[in-house]
Each structure stands twice: as structure tokens, then as C-alpha cells.
Amino acid sequence: MAKWLLCGLVLLCHSLLAATPRVITLSPHLTELAFAAGITPVAVSAYSDYPAAARTLEQVASWQGIKTERILQLKPDVVLAWRGGNPQRQIEQLQRLGVRVEWIDPQSLDQMINTLTRLQVWSPHPQQAVAAAQTLRRQAAALRQQYQQQTPVPLFLQFGQQPLFTAARNTLQNEIITLCGGRNIFADSPVSWPQVSREQVLARHPQAIVIGGDAARAASVAQFWQPQLSVPVIAINDDWLSRPGPRLLLAAGALCQALHPAKKKPD
């Protein structure tokens, strides 16, 4: 009897493991979204370094492209791809070879949060995906309520230095600025990621500069703008600010606190 019971348990465990969807993520932010949804991918992209468990996974994509043959060998149930960073021709080749591909391109905080709910169908822990989405919605709503009445602070969102790039209206980064009671001085640009000149920035009189980086990077940027512009340089963790994943809410919280330090941080 015990022997048959043991065999039954082994078969059950094997069945459960086999039923776990095999997911591959092709960008760091998709890896973060997958883990937040309770998914441990079978392979990821280069620079997938969060959470820590992602660093141990096989990498099948980089800026040079994707490893098509290896992806086929891994037999994924779904590949999560990003139009902004993955080569469409290679992704379409995977699709022609019978691989299911889900394009995930969040263009707003709501879309990013809804992605977690969407991913529950591939998660062995779908309730975790739903709970994570609910948590992020509460955090965004709390920040919006806390800072929506603030007088807008003109901000320059700086990416790079030579040349200078920034973000315009239709970006997640602009949405974070607005959420925190800021006003993006280049929100009116006709392109999402415009290259701008030093003179254009100075002409719009920002009251603060927001960058991705640390304190050392902030000091370097402040020096770059001297002597014409002496304003606070707010440094936000680069991965939080640049990746369209769950940690965008951490970037928003840090920015809100830096812009309005006198206000109590929402629970």
C-alpha cells in the first residue's frame, strides 16, 4: 500500500511540474513583471538582474539579438517580447516556427499594472499576479491623491549628456512626473524621446532636473549646468526610472518625496 501511495505522489508531483507554463522573457522589465506575477522564467534576457533569482537564469537575448535555436530547444509555452527592444524579424521567425509570442509594451502606468493581471494565465500562482496588480494600483492612487493638488514644478528629465535626450508627453516617465505634481518642460515635443540642446533647456527655465543614477551622477550633472543653471538635481535609481515594470512606482515615490519633502509619504 505504501509503495503504491509513494508512486502516486511521485506521479502527482511530476504532473504538477509538467503543468507549470514554460515562460521566456526577452527584456529586463519583462523579467521583473514575470517574477511579480509569480512566474519563474526558464530563460531571460541580458541585464535581467532583478529580483536576485533572475541572475541565475540562462540568457537567450541581448542587444545583439535573440538565440532562436536555443529558445526552440527550451520549448517555451510562451515568449514575452518587447517591441521597443526586440528585433521584430527574429520574433516573427519564432512565430512561424510555432512559438507563441506575447508582445508586451506598456505605454502607461495602467497598462503596466494591467500586464500583471494579463500574465496570471501563465503563472503557477495566479493569485500573486492579481495581488501584485492590486498593490500597485493602490500605490499609484495614493500618490495621485497625495500630490495632485501641488503647484506644478517645471522639471527637465535628463537622459544622457552629450547628446542630451529627454522624454515627452507619451512616456511612462512623463506620467510619473505628472503624478508627483511636476510639469515636464518638454512634454509638448512631437516625438517621445527628443534630443535637445543646452540652450533649449535653459530657455524653458526648469526648477529641477531629474536623472537616472546616484549621488555621484547628480553631482556631475549639476556641474555640467554651471554657471547658467543652479537647480536641484534629483537622482532616481536608473532601473526604477527607465524600466517599464513594477519598480516604476518606487521611482514615483522617490520623485514625489524629493519634490515635496514636507509632505508625509502616503502609506
Q: How many CB atoms lie within 10 A of CB 15?
A: 9
Please give, one letter per residue, the 3-state secondary structure of 130-142.
HHHHHHHHHHHHH
Least Cα distance to 167 among 251, 257, 265 occurs for: 251
CA–CA separation, 229 and 208 (whole Å): 10
* 50 marked among binding-site residues: no
CB 147 within 8 A of CB 178: no
CA–CA separation, 106 and 8 (whole Å): 44
The sheet that has 101-103: what strands, in order across it? 23-25, 78-81, 101-103
Residue that has been written with the C-alpha cell 537622482 in this structure:
235
- What's phi and psi for 227, nearest 5 deg? -95, 0
> What's the one-letter identity of residue 132?
A
Q: What is the dihedral of CA 105, 108, 111, 113, to 10 degrees?
A: 110
CA–CA separation, 109 and 250 (whole Å): 12
Binding site, annotated residues for cyanocob(III)alamin: 47
Q: Provide the annotated binding site.
A: 47
